Amino acid sequence: MTKFSNMSSNNNKYDLEERTAKFGEDIIDLCQKIEKDFINRPILNQLLRSGTSIGANYMEANGASSKKDFRNKIFICKKEAQETKHWLRMTKKAISIENQKVEYLANEGQELIFIFQKITSSLDSKKV
């Protein structure tokens, strides 16, 4: 079970910097465990790139020079999470092992999408 499964004993569920970093690490672990072949190698490459970039873009958002820059970086986080969700689906199709881990990552990716959407929506509503 992951560190995010028990909120009462661990408040990191709301530490988005840690959460996105852990998500990227979990993506790396998954990609390392899967035997590469001509079908899944390009899929895993894309998964690795999009899954690890969520945290990197979140770090950039935290160092943003303006509210507009922050919102744009958060929107990129959301887009990368959506792309990762797609590549996780393709990974699940391409392999028959680690499906439980892929499913967990897909669920966590969906939660990240919701979080980044809420942040961008909140920022957009403040403009009115």
**Residue 3 located in a structural domain:** no
Does the pLDDT value for residue 33 go beyond 70?
A: yes
- Contact status, residue 19 vs residue 12, Cβ threshold 8 Å: yes
Global pTM?
0.84
**Residue 53 located in a structural domain:** yes
Residue 123, token pair as written in the block:
């920022």
CA dist 50 and 79 (Å) reads 9
At residue 95 the predicted structure's pLDDT band, cuts being 50, 70 and 90, is confident
Secondary structure letter of residue 39 according to DSSP: T
Task: Supply the range of the domain harboring residue 83.
Answer: 14-125
What is the three-class DSSP state of 98?
A: coil
- Contact status, residue 64 vs residue 30, Cβ threshold 8 Å: no
- Contact status, residue 98 vs residue 30, Cβ threshold 8 Å: yes
CATH number at residue 112: 1.20.1440.60
Report, as an integer, the average pLDDT of 97-105: 82
